[in-house]
């Protein structure tokens, strides 16, 4: 594992502190080790991209950051994931409160089978009730934030399933934004979308960056190069266990990577 740039006091963004800091993280599903020894920061109010060939554990990694991976199976975690200095795997942490702070957008758009309005209001309603007017405001600002408001403002009570794939994905972003998370995790958010919808999501990520810390998994290298400030390259070793190969500013990773595997990957020689 090699570092092309110092973590926080990197030459490009000297003042940016880390919103999350991962130290020597290993992750197993049951007894099967899938990810080993990851150390990297997620820098505040920047976009961090995680790239790598399929099966390298990048999706597992991002799911470990809001502890959503443990929904499906028994998992074992070693190492440390800190969120503003709080160890998120500490037994004292309430998992539901944690997930409200760290939002997530998934691979396939997954709106609930309810109206557009109810989708966005969902997170707020779960944690308690707001007066109608306040809720309206939350929904509107979330939809505006996700660049969807103009398209749906007249159809808020229509089913979310009637939206196009790209609109659905932006709705899911709005749904995550509505509870004002500090970090937004995105797990290949454009993999099910066409180029035009992908473009819109990328523009959206760009505009959210000034307010929000974003970590995004992508298999599309051009996308990582376009939208991210930092990039982590993940790969598998001989025993098929995922690991982080290299972390640095996006420019460094794409232009002057130290590890040959990173160079090979970004130049399209494998993966």
Partner 1 sequence: MSDSSELKIDITTPDGAELDRGFTGLVKGFALCTVFLLFWMTWVILGAAIPAIQTFGLGFFLSQDWDVGALIFGALPYGYGTLMTSIIALVIGVPIAIAVALVTSETFLPIWVRSPLAALVELIAAIPSVIIGLWGFFVLIPFIDPVQLWIFKVLGWIPLFGTEPTVGQGSIFVAGVILAIMILPTIATISRDVLIAIPTELRSASRALGSTHWETLFRVVLPTAAPGILGAITLGLGRAMGETMAVTLVIGNSPQFTVSLLNLGATIPSVLANQFAEALDTLHIGALMYLALALFGLTLLVNIAAVMIVKTLEQR
Partner 2 sequence: MQTTSETNLSLAEDLQADLPIKRQLFSYGMTAIALLLTALALLPLFSILFSIVQQGLPQLSWQTFTTLPSPTGSVGEPDGFGNAIIGTAVMVGMASLISIPVGIMTAIFLAEFSQGSAIAGFVRFVVTILSGVPSIVVGVFAYGVIVLATKEFSALAGSFALAVVMLPIVVLSTESALLLVPTAQKLASAGLGASRFQTTFRVVLASALPGIMTGILLAIARAAGETAPLIFTALFSTSWFDNLLSPTSSLSVLIYNYISLKVLLKNIIWLGQRLWCCSV
The structure tokens listed for 42 are 């997620």
The structure tokens listed for 48 are 């961090």
Closest by alpha carbon to 249, among 6, 16, 19?
6
Q: Is residue 59 near partner 1 by the rule CB under 8 A?
A: no
Count of helix runs (H) and strand runs (E) in the chain: 10, 11
Residues in 168-197 at the binding interface with partner 1, rule: CB under 8 A: 172, 175-176, 179
Single out the residue of 45, 78, 80, 100 in contact with partner 1 (rule: CB under 8 A): 100
Tell me the C-alpha to C-alpha distance, in Å, between residue 163 and each of 112, 116, 204, 236. 12, 9, 18, 38
Stretch that binds partner 2, among 95-103, 215-223, 226-234, 238-246 (CB under 8 A): 95-103
Question: Could you give the CA distance from residue 212 to residue 104 in angstroms, rounded to a whole number?
Answer: 13
Q: Is residue 135 near partner 1 by the rule CB under 8 A?
A: no
Q: Which residues pair with 87 in a beta bridge?
A: 82
Please say whether the beta carbons of 149 and 211 come within 8 A.
Answer: no
In the list partner 2, partner 1, none, the entry touching 113 (Cβ below 5 to 8 angstroms by class) is: partner 1
Q: 1 or 126, CB closer to partner 2?
A: 126
Q: Specify the 3-state DSSP secondary structure of 239.
A: coil
Smallest distance, partner 1 to C-beta of residue 108, A:
6
Q: 10 or 103, CB closer to partner 1?
A: 103
Residues in 226-255 at the binding interface with partner 1, rule: CB under 8 A: none
**Angle, alpha carbons 12-247-222 (nearest 5°):** 80
Binding mask 100-119 for partner 2 (x = CB under 8 A): -x------------------
Q: Is residue 85 near partner 2 by the rule CB under 8 A?
A: yes
DSSP state of 170: H
Smallest distance, partner 2 to C-beta of residue 31, A:
27
Site residues (vs partner 1, CB under 8 A): 66, 68, 71-72, 96-100, 103-104, 106-108, 110, 112-114, 122-123, 125-127, 172, 175-176, 179
């Amino acid at each position: 594992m090699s570092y092309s740039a110092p973590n926080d006091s990197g030459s490009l963004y000297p003042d940016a502190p880390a919103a999350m800091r991962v130290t020597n993280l290993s992750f197993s599903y049951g007894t099967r080790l899938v990810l080993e020894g990851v150390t990297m920061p997620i820098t505040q109010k920047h976009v961090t991209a995680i790239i790598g060939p399929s099966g390298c554990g990048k999706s597992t990694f991002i799911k470990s950051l809001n502890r959503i991976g443990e929904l499906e199976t028994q998992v074992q975690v070693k190492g440390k994931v800190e969120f503003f200095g709080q160890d998120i795997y500490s037994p004292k942490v309430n998992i539901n409160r944690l997930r409200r702070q760290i939002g997530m957008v998934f691979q396939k758009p997954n709106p609930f089978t309810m109206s557009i309005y109810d989708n966005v209001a969902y997170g707020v309603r779960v944690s308690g009730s707001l007066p109608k007017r306040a809720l309206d405001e939350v929904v509107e600002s979330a939809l505006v934030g996700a660049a969807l408001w103009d398209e749906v403002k007249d159809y808020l009570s229509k089913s979310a399933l009637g939206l196009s794939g790209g609109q659905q994905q932006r709705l899911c972003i709005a749904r995550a934004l509505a509870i004002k998370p500090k970090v937004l995790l995105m797990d290949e958010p454009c993999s099910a979308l066409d180029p035009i919808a992908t473009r819109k999501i990328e523009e959206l990520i760009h505009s959210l960056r000034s307010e929000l810390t974003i970590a995004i998994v992508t298999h599309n290298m051009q996308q990582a190069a376009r939208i991210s400030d930092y990039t982590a390259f993940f790969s598998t070793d001989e025993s098929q266990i995922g690991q982080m190969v290299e972390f640095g500013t996006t420019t460094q990773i794409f232009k002057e990577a130290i590890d040959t595997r990173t160079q090979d990957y970004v130049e399209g020689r494998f993966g």
